[in-house]
Structure 1
Amino acid sequence: MAYRGSCLCGNIHYQFTRFDNEIAHCHCRMCRKFHGAAFSTFVPVARTDLTWKTGAKCLATYQASNGTKRQFCVNCGSSLTFQSANDNNTLEIALATLDMDDSSLTPLPVPDAHVHVDSKVEWYTINDELPQYRKDRPT
């Protein structure tokens, strides 16, 4: 069983077989700017479980001043990945880029928290029961 996803223009396709269950909505300023939205939602995937099926040459990387890296499609601009500055073994895939047309996939990747809510935009109200953390999750 594989989870599959793609960018908006369809040049880049990926798949992974497993993911980490700590899937959070991130409200930090960098994630908001990268996605152009109130927050981003990433699913952590071990690099060994991720395969770029097509279009890897279309991936561009932006490295921020804090050492984090974000990848996007050079053709359509789709935000695809986030990589922590101190973890080279995990890529976080933008959850909304999954092509979830196979309803038999289980478990479904479901967000379980909000992080960096101290940076949340004023015009968005969190209306769910998920735990909220001012910064990162506690370790």
Structure 2
Amino acid sequence: MSNAQSYRGSCFCGAVQVEVSGEPAGMGYCHCESCRHWSAGPVNAFTLWEPDAVRVTQGADNLASYSRTPASRRMWCQTCGGHVMTEHPQMGLIDVYAAVMPDFPFAPGLHVHYQESVLPLRDGLPKMRDVPAEMGGSGQTLDE
């Protein structure tokens, strides 16, 4: 890790700890059905990082994972079940959930997969039908 700003996070019980360094590639809210079901909530706050910016500093052997599709590998703590992060191999990025890093200055820039939203949010941020074109999506936005 470089001398860039870093932030620490952990699962619910603290057995698994992660550190991110530098600036995220993106931040926002995901409304897709997979994220909603995984998080057991109506929306997921994400922070996307280059793999070299993410490091498991404790409890790597306690991480379990599941891949419903090749697009993601979701990881959680085997002790408490707390969700930690999701690798997105096709995008070459890792989503470290904003909620697991209490001191991270989360500043969302957009909503993705908004066509699947079950909780409409009127916050002035762009609402992407799927994901931005540069990430392989349509790049289409929807009205608030």
TM-score range (shorter-chain normalised) is: 0.7 to 0.9
Partner of 2:48: 44
- For residues 71 and 112 of structure 2, the distance between their equivalents in structure 1, rounded to whole angstroms, comes to 19
- For residues 90 and 44 of structure 1, the distance between their equivalents in structure 2, rounded to whole angstroms, comes to 6
Greater RCO, 1 or 2 (C-alpha within 8 Å, sep 6+): 1
TM-score normalised by the chain length of structure 1 = 0.85
Percent pairwise identity:
25
Contact preservation (8 Å) 2:25, 2:49: no
Q: Please list, as runs of the form range in 1=range in 2, the aligned pairs for 1:1-139 lying within 5 A after superposition.
A: 1-87=5-91, 89-100=92-103, 108-121=105-118, 124-139=119-134
TM superposition outliers: structure 1 runs of 4+ over 4 Å = none
Q: How far does the alpha carbon of each residue in 1:20-72 deviate from its partner, in whole angstroms, 9 at most, with x for none?
A: 24212000000001100111111112221222111111111101134421111
Secondary structure (helix, strand or coil) at the match of 2:35 reads helix
Structure 1 vs Structure 2 CA RMSD = 1.6
Gaps of 5+ in 2: 135-144
TM-score normalised by the chain length of structure 2 = 0.82
Gaps of 5+ in 1: none
Quickly say closer, same or farther: Cα 1:19–1:92, change in 2 above 3 A: farther
